[in-house]
Structure 1
């Protein structure tokens, strides 16, 4: 990423906190997608938490390290899960939209890494305008729209937050949705600084 150092560190702190929260949900019972009537969690909840933890920690590392890590490493780290999510979305209708969102996120991270790598010939930061402007614009529209949609859903739920999930205090029930909002804003910020 290029731009003010403070913005990079704030983005890294936000996305690392979100990644840590998602990782903690993997260790506990995830907050989303509880199986109806059984109190158990679905495999999709663990899949989603793992994807969001990877994105959070990856965005934090990318925001701080910039192009010091080879672009190929970032491309494999995010490109491989993106392909897995695309294949999973194509194989069946269950959770298709959510899997496609994770695939778009992984592909956007791959694109960002490759653009950083292509423009890193003169130091640690890539020049403004690295990447394809149309693709960058389309991704900005996607993540901007996703952030607005998630924010409206978060604010529009009864009591200003998401409805309480099984076993969660009402004050923390909206955290998974707030994390997705933070990740969307973080991705938007990364793309905006390209």
Structure 2
């Protein structure tokens, strides 16, 4: 999935900064927000590691299998939240607001987006592992790697997410007061981190 060296390192820097920012945000948040920030930090740092340019010696195939296992484990909390979410929606159906269980649409959207991201990382890691055995550039996949329809679906999802998040970022940043935990715990920081990682995901999928 690695392209030219300079854009590749820029992608690594973008994902690494997003991951570190999520770690900082996790320290200033509690409960669901803190867990969400920690999961996003794992996602960002994992993306940075996977995006290292082809100029660096390629890792063996088992490293990509390790990435796949890591992100499969990262997806488990989001999968486990599906049952309580559905039960909560049933309990709150017809009530005022209709936001569902445990904090509304934001809670559900966070888990859904995290699940899609984790599974997308598993998919890319598996493609890289197979490419390390059969591709023309060991450990870096080959042109047209993966399943074209699945890659296109993930690209469409992240393209829409980038457009929606970008549209929400400016009004959130200008209208929201500084939260008790400081700027790092604010909603604009969380949205900016997710937007950066979504842009990184688009770049990685395009190069897959």
Q: How far does residue 72 in structure 1 lie from its aligned partner after superposition?
A: 1.3
Q: Does structure 2 retain, via aligned residues, the 8 Å contact 1:157–1:163?
A: yes
Match status 1:133 vs 2:126: no
Number of equivalent positions: 179
**TM-score normalized with structure 1 length:** 0.84
Where does 1:77-92 land on structure 2 (aligned, <5 Å)? Answer: 77-92=70-85
Match status 1:157 vs 2:172: yes
Q: Distance in 2 between matches of 1:193 and 1:158?
A: 31
Q: How far does residue 85 in structure 1 lie from its aligned partner after superposition?
A: 0.9
- Alignment-derived partner of residue 187 in structure 1: 201
Q: Distance in 2 between matches of 1:57 and 1:127?
A: 23
**Any idea what the Cα deviations from partners look like across 1:146-165, whole Å, max 9, x if unmatched?**
11110000123373xx6124
Which ranges in structure 1 are unaligned for 5 or more consecutive residues?
31-40
Q: Distance in 2 between matches of 1:134 and 1:8?
A: 24
Superposition RMSD in Å: 2.1
Q: How far does residue 23 in structure 1 lie from its aligned partner after superposition?
A: 0.7
Residues 173, 77 of structure 1: CA spacing in aligned structure 2 closer, same or farther, 3 A cutoff?
Answer: closer
- Larger Rg computed on CA atoms: 2
Match status 1:113 vs 2:125: yes
DSSP 3-state at the match of 1:129: coil
- Alignment-derived partner of residue 73 in structure 1: 66
Relative contact order, higher structure (CA 8 A, sep 6+): 2
Q: Does structure 2 retain, via aligned residues, the 8 Å contact 1:89–1:97?
A: no
**Any idea what the Cα deviations from partners look like across 1:27-81, whole Å, max 9, x if unmatched?**
2x23xxxxxxxxxx4x110111011100110000111177515221011110111
Q: Does structure 2 retain, via aligned residues, the 8 Å contact 1:79–1:106?
A: yes
DSSP 3-state at the match of 1:164: coil
Which ranges in structure 2 are unaligned for 5 or more consecutive residues?
86-100
Q: Does structure 1 retain, via aligned residues, the 8 Å contact 2:3–2:53?
A: no
